[in-house]
């Protein structure tokens, strides 16, 4: 049985991204499709790599972090280091989001205060 292959348009359609996005990750050295003439031919591994990049970007990982995590993948199945690193990065990202949430809540309080002062000043001038 042969491994499935994909054209750039197949991957773009299947993952709901643009072909330009795929070419960008290729330019970054994160995808290495075979070439058949001028056509790019992506493997099942390329598809998995692309899914991992997209998932990493969705949860806020940088491209460098995605590259590092993908680089830790061990095809023999021993992915303890990759999984441990992923858990560390998740914890770091969660801490960043918690801090951003606190910052947003503080900003909302400051906006409420400024709004109340403006309303009070307006009511005094009427």
Cα 104 to Cα 3: distance, rounded to the nearest angstrom: 48
Q: Which residue has the tokens 């499935």?
A: 4
The average pLDDT across 1-6 equals 84
Claim: this prediction has a pTM higher than 0.85: no
Identify the pLDDT of residue 21.
Answer: 96
Q: What are the residue boundaries of the structural domains of the chain, listed by start?
A: 1-63, 72-126
| Residue 43 pLDDT class (50, 70, 90 cuts) | very high
Cα 99 to Cα 68: distance, rounded to the nearest angstrom: 24
Pick the CATH number of 1-63 from 1.10.1660.10, 3.10.20.30, 2.60.40.1080, 3.30.2270.10: 1.10.1660.10
What are the tens digits of pLDDT across the range 48-107?
899 999 999 999 999 999 999 888 887 778 889 989 999 999 999 999 999 999 999 999
Identify the pLDDT of residue 5.
Answer: 94
CB 5 within 8 A of CB 13: no
Identify the pLDDT of residue 1.
Answer: 64
Q: Which residue has the higher pLDDT, 35 or 73?
A: 35
First-to-last C-alpha distance (Å) of the chain: 82
């Amino acid at each position: 049985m042969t491994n499935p292959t994909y054209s750039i348009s197949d991957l773009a359609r299947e993952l709901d991204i643009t072909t330009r996005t795929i070419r960008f990750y290729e330019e970054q050295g994160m995808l290495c499709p075979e070439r058949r003439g001028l056509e790019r031919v992506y493997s099942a591994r390329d598809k998995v790599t692309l899914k991992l990049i997209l998932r990493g970007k969705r949860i806020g990982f940088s491209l460098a972090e995605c590259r590092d995590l993908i680089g830790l993948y061990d095809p023999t199945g021993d992915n303890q280091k990759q999984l441990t690193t992923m858990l560390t990065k998740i914890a770091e990202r969660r801490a960043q989001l918690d801090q951003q949430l606190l910052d947003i809540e503080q900003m909302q309080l400051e906006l409420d205060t400024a709004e109340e002062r403006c309303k009070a000043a307006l009511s005094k001038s009427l």
